Chains A and B, each alone.
Chain A
């Protein structure tokens, strides 16, 4: 699915990723943990193609193709999905318009028939329900005035509608109370189908109680300094990041 090799990336001339290598196979869930400033979010953003992140060396192969060659929207259409740490508020554009434009673009790329408005509405409402979101919020501006929990669930909703192959979740757990965390995690778990892969970026192992990873990697100063199974997260929780640095 994804092969990252010796990836070095800069932001504003400062090296943030310093030689990351990571292989994610179909169906796997990888958790990336690490202290603040270790490069976790940068990794997610580089993979999604955000401007301002300059890749200096290394490679990223996604489904056998060079991911770094693609524009952000092309990556999204090819099945890479980034759930934002801070979803953007866009007043004046309704959530429905946004979701429809997004799903239309992705389906068109995949040669799937475009969904007409009623069919899309129905689908969106169903997904809302499964994420305990009031369908009314489809009419509101994108993330406008949403609570932290609603914003994160909106990200999961988009993910469910776009049916990506590789999901990057950037601190989806931050700012969530236990109930909201559980709902979000259930939304993610519902998308685990043995083929779809996930990279979870998180500070805390709490999220991993709900979304159980196959692998845990610890990032420090832009490098993966330790990899292991689920138990590594628990060990980190007990001993702190200083133990690994």
Chain B
């Protein structure tokens, strides 16, 4: 095992590959200044990063070749979408199909950007993220040699969704894959973004460090679907940082499977009044997986509303964390913010830590937060049994039903179908349900 300090030094030594025109120097020093999380770091208390230190992931960059048949089989049937497929963080043109939007200048790689786009990147990259708190985002910045810019033009509604697929391909030796997305929606722009994280084969040798930044300018609207259904051996640290200007509307629907170590940070900052944010998610962990969901909503301006609702399904010997924080600043009067987290904890050996947090400094707000941890409802089980369904199948159906409630809200039939298929495979392999599933 590598010591945390050696890891940091090794990470710092990798900086030279950064894109030269990025004059975002703060992030380098920020990374140098940021401390690696330990057990004493509150934000990482329940998620030791030992998995990350056990292998020499930083020794090399992951190779970008994937088995094409496998890769194609992973894709959702989003026929009208502009599809961008990254294999271990690197764009794969053969699997992608986004020439329309590329030609219009809506989507571009950082390395192929024109001066105007570079200016846009320099203007916004890293602004939605507080690097001192997000070490891995700072690390991502520090060696940024490529990224994807999505630039939604003002007052336009993009007819086709932007479908980003992050595919992990198996590696012979431990390797690092980094990816970076910056989405800037100009005033009045409207679009749908689908982020789909998936794998072809075992990810035992992969560390994926991803950051998506979203900047919504006044009146912009974004519908965001996030699907994380990767192989369970993966180490994946994911930061999503959203800035909402006045009158913006952001809506997210997500599903995430656990893995060896999975960390999802979602950070929303309201920079203008009258903006609305809606986040709906479900996370599932089984076997010895680990998943950590950290949400932080910065209500810095008045008259904004947010609604956050997460469900967790935790079983076998897995561990899951949910931390949802609503921070209402002093001037953020007339804020309305609600957050809840409902969990199903099915096994005695599984662990769940949930912490909804409200921090309020304004005096005229409407807020609620809550969390619950439960088991399968006896009444519901009996209802199934009284209809001839055996207890084991009833349990399996109730588990799926618990998760499905969130899946049904995903505003895309194609993604719902993809998720349904992955869920069937997920449940099929839950130790506790193993003998029961298979309807």
Contact = CB atoms under 8 A, between A and B. Distances in A.
Contacts of A82: 386
Interface string A61-81: 000000000011101110001
Contacts of A158: 387
Nearest to B392: A73
A67 to B, nearest CB: 13
A156 B197 CA distance: 45
Interface stretch (B80-88, B364-372, B377-385): B377-385
A60 B117 CA distance: 80
Of A71, A75, A87, A98, chain B has the most CB atoms within 10 Å of the CB of A98
Nearest to B397: A93
B388 A88 contact: no
A105 interface: yes
A92 B404 contact: yes
B405 A92 contact: yes
Contacts of B405: 91-92, 141
B431 interface: no
A105 B391 CA distance: 12
B389 A105 contact: yes
Interface in B380-418: 380, 382-391, 393, 397-398, 400-405, 407-408
Contact of B388 (A84, A87, A90, A162): A162
A92 B402 contact: yes
A181 interface: no
B378 A51 contact: yes
Contacts of B439: 101
A208 to B, nearest CB: 24
Given A101-B397, A101-B439, A106 B403 contact: no
A50 interface: yes
B387 A98 contact: yes
Contacts of A141: 401, 405
A90 B385 contact: no
Contact of A91 (B383, B384, B401): B401
Contact of B382 (A51, A81, A92): A51
A209 interface: no
B385 A72 contact: yes
A76 B386 contact: yes
A188 interface: no
Given A71-B385, A102-B389, A92 B380 contact: no
A129 interface: no
Of A71, A90, A102, chain B has the most CB atoms within 10 Å of the CB of A90
Contacts of B389: 73, 101-102, 105
Contact of A90 (B383, B390, B407, B408): B383
A92 B393 CA distance: 15
Interface in A177-212: none
B385 A101 contact: no
Contact of B397 (A48, A87, A91, A97): A97
A88 to B, nearest CB: 4
A104 to B, nearest CB: 8
6 contacts: A91-B401, A91-B404, A93-B397, A98-B387, A105-B387, A105-B393
Given A73-B385, A98-B387, A101-B384, 7 more contacts: A48-B386, A72-B385, A73-B387, A73-B388, A88-B377, A91-B405, A106-B388
